[in-house]
Structure 1
């Protein structure tokens, strides 16, 4: 590998600009110009920062002869530490050392994969293993490399502020919560021809906001450096969410999907999730990371307790009547009637009062009451669709038994029995005693909003103050509840739909499942709100199980089986994937057996970045130590010479070199610091001036040979590093070409001009203009990638150590 002299405009180079000496601290190429960030190092500009554009500003190397600076061992140690703390390998992470996170090797793997050229990733770790941190690392690394970085984070509406806070707290990354109010302000203040999403930033928007046609259109007029999709399993086939995310994803250079439940038992859905953001016939498979808590092993283990609830005679009678009715209903009617039977069974296991409400509503619907859509309609530019934690009329309105009079009689008996049972529900009494005795913050989960409301009133009567989190609240209201709970600790009542993705571990370690969900993976989602990275105490989850019901005979064994799978298997998700709600419903309603454990499938393959991530974590730990033990003084720009402890005879000289691999545009892709030894026999003079003269003479005679020896030892390794860099750039070039191929479409440009209306022609011309601009920008970017693929090594002498 050929080494070039150190005269390029690379990071760390001293340059002469506008009559002053500056050090280059940042460099971004834009085709026909470049942005260069400078830090002053002259007498008049020391400490100042400035950004210039070339070729509009003239930049000259500040050429001067090498000078030698004689120092003691203490200053030498400072110098080497300062230089070493600024070094970074090509495959390493540049921002992780400064991030406010614990360095855990597996969390570094996705960012390292992106650095190696991966363009589409799925982080499918188990709940609570820090998927947000891993995505934040990716954003931090990409933003550090590009001043014009533009990314979008698509998340449930209730998680937008949480994303913004974590990006700022952990990575000092500012972000914009992009909602209807922000969009209105941007449109009002920007010129009419400026796309409000075009400015460089990290935008955090809700999944449902992005799918609005008025919002999606300007998004598709841009390309994105990264798209992060949180809770990506919500982008199911045939939905507007998926269509919108895919539309943005095919314009994003990197697509990162975050989900703890990538597979819901439907192989078609799983395959479609893996294709989200794939351009056309792009055959590059998505890179998937799937780690379980048992494999990672952070924090104390969880303790699970099942509390059997003895039902009252009234409750047992209610369940017997309901079992008889739902067996008749599900056995002789169609699929819609079966759905109504399943809903009634779930309602009975949730609360007697909830069953009474649903049975009464079904009786009214069968009598001819109109079907009402109780869901709140989404307003234009709404940030969130209504959350599903209520029972809708269409679930209960299906025609039922052939004997209508008998069905009415059965429903009437169920309503009466449920009303009687609701006067003193056994689960509510047990829950009140449990919360009173524990006396610490807790989260109580239920599936239905009306059950939550009943619990809130009953616990208030028992003297237990509570907070509520449900789908009837706006994202801002839910955010306020989350903040109060995390700040003060209390008892939080939450529905599943309203609590997805929240971090609630700061003050809470107790989770109570008021009823068992019919999807075992939901147990993990619930407990994962507190059993996650950052939890320092043992987490306790308590399952309230009604005796002599399907909850005890089917759901409780199912929950225990999922818990054993989590403890015993590395591939927990494969067990839970087979236990879908439809299969569980068949087990509850018809007594069907559930599928066996897929233990024969074996463990998923280890990540190819696992070993490299461990080494990188060690390097980052060393960097943090260097940063903490190094003073704020800048390293010497001269070659440092350090004599022996005692003046006298010297037997060895250690030459410390800094090696860089520099792209054609000036970006330094790889730096390292190493030393090489040379044997000498010399008497060292006692004064600093004489020592400097001796070192200068030795460098003139011996350093060329020593440099050649050093280069021979590192040339092959640098060649391998450059080859890996070229592979990463080639992957980015392929993605860039795949994105650009979609910009020009003949079909959408064929328009039929109206005789008196030229709107179609104007719209077509606007689309062509946008496509042309995107293609031109893509060509510039591909040229920049071509320039970045070739690396030139540079070598600089940093220090001479005499021993």
Structure 2
């Protein structure tokens, strides 16, 4: 048999087993999956090279020797549906999703389906689910056969998160490509190969790939589908890394056939030129600023941006997010702590007074701000910064980004206390201040800021909250962590800072999942890169951040889609009599709060940050009791200039919201199809029913009720299944729930959760290939029992329907559906869900094995006569599927029907069961 003779969906025999043809990936090649196997077992054949020729095959009917109980029939029916991954509905990806998407998350997918080349900027708010939205588009394109290879480009601290999200939510195994791993990935490759041709799915660090040599190699071998996370960090006007990133994206975007998804929560941060460069990656005609109707219509095809209020109000999705409780927590500086701030500022003023020349005065200005920021954080941070000051001179250009948190989205090395300029006359004064800082740090019980924090943590714990305490600097975080460890000895208190590698940070956080009582202290190295919503539900801002978007990013780690607590808490601490905190609140925090209340958007510090920092210094000095502080710097019109900068930022946000709001698409038309598809493949009820029954069959004590949820023991599962789950990190005992929104510390288990997927595969494979599974006896495929659920002798056929599907002229695809037909002595009784429901009616009594054998053999003889009905049912299902596809296509593209769906006959009879009516 030659490849030309084979069609998608055909059954063939090769290498001693039976296979299903999935498609033809190339000339003379055939992609096949074992008849009794899963998608992981699919391989590619070159039939002409096979020693034993490939031949056609037919699916054998169940026999009396394969008889089993009613429980086995139920298990096989559910297991077959849950194991199928090539769904037949209009959303091909539904069977692969490990998350139940909300209605609003379908909008980017619908937008993508409108485009031949997918080019989108997804700019939804922090925590709304941009990763899910991009992953759904990717998964859909893969399952439609339009994408074979892809890459995700992201900052290095997001690489592991993307790898994990792709695996757990989209059933995609991707390879992480970073500076540390590239060499090992390249080992063993041929000279003509690169990582990006050898591995079909990659998540690549932008910092690794932006270098000139690597950029050229990547551009040459880059896949046709690219996702860029934190895309705003690639288009700024700065030199160095930003410029290299933009050059890479520009080169990729120049290929008109390349799919490109850009993700960012901050598409417009005040830099209009950078914003236009970002839009120009989608379509060169969008690069020129414009607000005319034609330009806006073009942009609307590529741009989606929703804020949290849009989702909660406009879409009625308040349930998708926890209820946010915000609180301000003022504390009062007293005694030595208040005096220390004045002493440090007086020292800085003295340095400024002695400064000779413009450059020296600028360094004094920035050095004062940097030092005072550390002083406001903690005595430990102040001591570290003062010691760093002894070590050398920092340049203005190095200080400003750290002060204003303008670090292109990376936090791996910005939580270190900055060095500041050193005057040769300073040493004695510095050493005295260091001694004072050390003395304050050595008495944490006397620190009013720490005391206020401990009171607040106790209050949150009393509400069953699990808090994350965010600090700006490493020394502060370590001091706070030590104080909390001493105070809360029964809690697991961990500290995560930039001293740890990204892998170490992730491991330390994940290890806390085993501790029901937990408190995390972290710097901003965790404000991006690791989602914390599964472990924590409260954020305490121990330090005021000098860029408002950083507050939003901190809170977004816990207040995001998937948070299981009903309430999340956010607490902002500040010294009500602190000259430092007071200045920040007046110049930055209150201004940003006003804009957020007016527009629903948190804005970063305006692009004209110089006016803001000058106003910040002026406000700080005005709060000082030092008589010489007022004349230390010439501020000119700093306060009015800063106010103007904030007002301009507000106007820009309002204009952007008016132009770019995405209100055109309403997914209500296609949401019913999505829900029908999910129900067809197996919803939450079927998943719970199957998992409990399957675990009860393969092991003793594998699952037990625990309040409103369940506890599963992975350690008692059969060896092969246990080892496969261990490879996915599932060991020991875990609390699980099948509900869409489980309580905190309880894992959601859906149809593609490894436990469900592997159990379903095991059950289905065991029935079709009894020698290929371990543990208890595999499921049989036939049975008979007495029941009051039917009035006449009824035969139920468990079917696997196969279809070929061609959409818009694309390659021919295989689609599968698990269903059932029931026949009584007069003909068909029920189909689909109604037929499957007959297997659920409890048996009223057992039959003698000999009687079961006779009933099964009799039913086998009747199957041939059922074939016309089976074929008609398959044709009808093909028609319904065609209509579903065309409805979705009409909703997204407005085109006529172009979908071709045809059944592959005969259908596979997976199970055969005879229901004998109970005599009254």
The TM-score with structure 2 as length reference comes to: 0.59
Are the equivalent residues in 2 in contact too, given 1:105–1:610 (CA < 8 A)? yes
Match of 2:331 in 1: 309
Distance change in 2, residues 1:320/1:604 (3 Å): farther
Tell me the distance in 2 between the aligned counterparts of 1:711 and 1:352: 71
Match of 1:256 in 2: 261
Are the equivalent residues in 2 in contact too, given 1:545–1:556 (CA < 8 A)? no
Are the equivalent residues in 2 in contact too, given 1:90–1:671 (CA < 8 A)? no
Q: Is 1:545 matched up with 2:569?
A: no
Q: Secondary structure at the match of 1:467?
A: strand
Question: How far is the alpha carbon of 1:796 from its aligned partner?
Answer: 6.5
Match of 1:286 in 2: 302
- Aligned counterpart in structure 1 of residue 552 of structure 2, from 516, 524, 527: 524
Question: How far is the alpha carbon of 1:301 from its aligned partner?
Answer: 0.7
Tell me the distance in 2 between the aligned counterparts of 1:536 and 1:703: 45
Q: Secondary structure at the match of 1:97?
A: helix
Distance change in 2, residues 1:447/1:274 (3 Å): farther
Q: Is 1:623 matched up with 2:652?
A: no
Question: How far is the alpha carbon of 1:305 from its aligned partner?
Answer: 1.2
Q: Is 1:322 matched up with 2:327?
A: no
Tell me the distance in 2 between the aligned counterparts of 1:719 and 1:445: 48
Q: Secondary structure at the match of 2:670?
A: helix
Are the equivalent residues in 2 in contact too, given 1:315–1:417 (CA < 8 A)? no
Tell me the distance in 1 between the aligned counterparts of 2:586 and 2:396: 35
Distance change in 2, residues 1:34/1:577 (3 Å): farther
Match of 1:14 in 2: 11
Q: How does 1:45-194 map to 2 (within 5 A)?
A: 51-53=44-46, 88=87, 91-94=90-93, 96-117=94-115, 119-145=118-144, 149-194=148-193
Are the equivalent residues in 2 in contact too, given 1:236–1:273 (CA < 8 A)? yes
Tell me the distance in 2 between the aligned counterparts of 1:791 and 1:726: 18
Q: Secondary structure at the match of 1:503?
A: coil
Distance change in 2, residues 1:662/1:563 (3 Å): same
Distance change in 2, residues 1:581/1:544 (3 Å): farther
Question: How far is the alpha carbon of 1:92 from its aligned partner?
Answer: 0.9
Are the equivalent residues in 2 in contact too, given 1:373–1:392 (CA < 8 A)? no
Tell me the distance in 2 between the aligned counterparts of 1:80 and 1:462: 55
Tell me the distance in 1 between the aligned counterparts of 2:231 and 2:126: 13
- Aligned counterpart in structure 2 of residue 591 of structure 1, from 639, 652, 659: 639
Question: How far is the alpha carbon of 1:128 from its aligned partner?
Answer: 2.4
Question: How far is the alpha carbon of 1:37 from its aligned partner?
Answer: 0.6
Q: How does 1:578-657 map to 2 (within 5 A)?
A: 582=609, 584-585=612-613, 588=616, 589=618, 590-592=638-640, 593=643, 594-595=646-647, 596=650, 601=657, 604-607=662-665, 609=667, 611-613=669-671, 615-625=673-683, 632=764
456-465 or 74-83: which moved more?
Answer: 74-83
Tell me the distance in 2 between the aligned counterparts of 1:370 and 1:215: 32
Q: Secondary structure at the match of 2:46?
A: strand
Distance change in 2, residues 1:415/1:208 (3 Å): farther
Match of 1:735 in 2: none
Question: How far is the alpha carbon of 1:313 from its aligned partner?
Answer: 5.0
Tell me the distance in 1 between the aligned counterparts of 2:343 and 2:106: 54
Match of 1:272 in 2: 277
Match of 1:390 in 2: 416
Match of 1:37 in 2: 32
Instruction: Output the aligned Cα RMSD.
Output: 6.1
Match of 1:662 in 2: 806
Are the equivalent residues in 2 in contact too, given 1:289–1:607 (CA < 8 A)? no
Q: Is 1:427 matched up with 2:449?
A: yes
Are the equivalent residues in 2 in contact too, given 1:14–1:21 (CA < 8 A)? no
Q: How does 1:481-560 map to 2 (within 5 A)?
A: 481-488=508-515, 490-537=518-565, 538-548=567-577, 549=579, 551-552=581-582, 555=585, 559=589
Distance change in 2, residues 1:141/1:426 (3 Å): same
Tell me the distance in 1 between the aligned counterparts of 2:7 and 2:17: 15
21-30 or 711-720: which moved more?
Answer: 711-720
Are the equivalent residues in 2 in contact too, given 1:29–1:35 (CA < 8 A)? yes
Match of 1:208 in 2: 207
Are the equivalent residues in 1 in contact too, given 2:88–2:803 (CA < 8 A)? no
Match of 2:851 in 1: none
Question: How far is the alpha carbon of 1:59 from its aligned partner?
Answer: 6.7
Question: How far is the alpha carbon of 1:544 from its aligned partner?
Answer: 0.8
Corresponding residue pairs, total: 691
Distance change in 2, residues 1:237/1:490 (3 Å): same
Question: How far is the alpha carbon of 1:342 from its aligned partner?
Answer: 3.9
Match of 1:443 in 2: 468
Question: How far is the alpha carbon of 1:513 from its aligned partner?
Answer: 0.7
Distance change in 2, residues 1:78/1:795 (3 Å): farther
Question: How far is the alpha carbon of 1:315 from its aligned partner?
Answer: 4.8
Question: How far is the alpha carbon of 1:133 from its aligned partner?
Answer: 3.2
Are the equivalent residues in 1 in contact too, given 2:801–2:816 (CA < 8 A)? no
Q: Secondary structure at the match of 1:508?
A: coil
Q: Secondary structure at the match of 1:174?
A: coil
Render the CA deviation track for 1:198-256: whole Å, top value 9, x for unaligned: 11332233221222345434322213143233333332435233334544565683322
Are the equivalent residues in 2 in contact too, given 1:554–1:587 (CA < 8 A)? no
Render the CA deviation track for 1:439-463: whole Å, top value 9, x for unaligned: 5643221222343344345556767
Match of 1:472 in 2: 499
Tell me the distance in 1 between the aligned counterparts of 2:493 and 2:574: 22
Are the equivalent residues in 1 in contact too, given 2:155–2:230 (CA < 8 A)? yes
Tell me the distance in 2 between the aligned counterparts of 1:712 and 1:360: 75
Tell me the distance in 1 between the aligned counterparts of 2:35 and 2:11: 9
Tell me the distance in 2 between the aligned counterparts of 1:554 and 1:512: 17
Unaligned runs of 5+ in 2: 62-69, 288-297, 400-409, 441-445, 619-637, 691-759, 769-780, 782-788, 794-799, 821-825, 830-854, 910-920
Are the equivalent residues in 1 in contact too, given 2:546–2:588 (CA < 8 A)? no
Question: How far is the alpha carbon of 1:306 from its aligned partner?
Answer: 0.7
Tell me the distance in 2 between the aligned counterparts of 1:209 and 1:683: 63
512-521 or 551-560: which moved more?
Answer: 551-560
Tell me the distance in 2 between the aligned counterparts of 1:572 and 1:624: 39
239-248 or 507-516: which moved more?
Answer: 239-248
Q: Secondary structure at the match of 2:215?
A: helix
Question: How far is the alpha carbon of 1:715 from its aligned partner?
Answer: 12
Q: Secondary structure at the match of 1:169?
A: helix
Tell me the distance in 1 between the aligned counterparts of 2:187 and 2:858: 70
Q: Secondary structure at the match of 1:102?
A: coil
Tell me the distance in 2 between the aligned counterparts of 1:713 and 1:579: 57
Q: How does 1:721-760 map to 2 (within 5 A)?
A: none
Tell me the distance in 2 between the aligned counterparts of 1:196 and 1:309: 54
Tell me the distance in 2 between the aligned counterparts of 1:175 and 1:341: 47
Question: How far is the alpha carbon of 1:541 from its aligned partner?
Answer: 1.6
Question: How far is the alpha carbon of 1:303 from its aligned partner?
Answer: 1.1
- Aligned counterpart in structure 1 of residue 20 of structure 2, from 12, 18, 24: 24
Q: Secondary structure at the match of 1:512?
A: strand
520-529 or 318-327: which moved more?
Answer: 318-327
Distance change in 2, residues 1:353/1:333 (3 Å): farther
Tell me the distance in 1 between the aligned counterparts of 2:377 and 2:827: 89
Match of 2:695 in 1: none
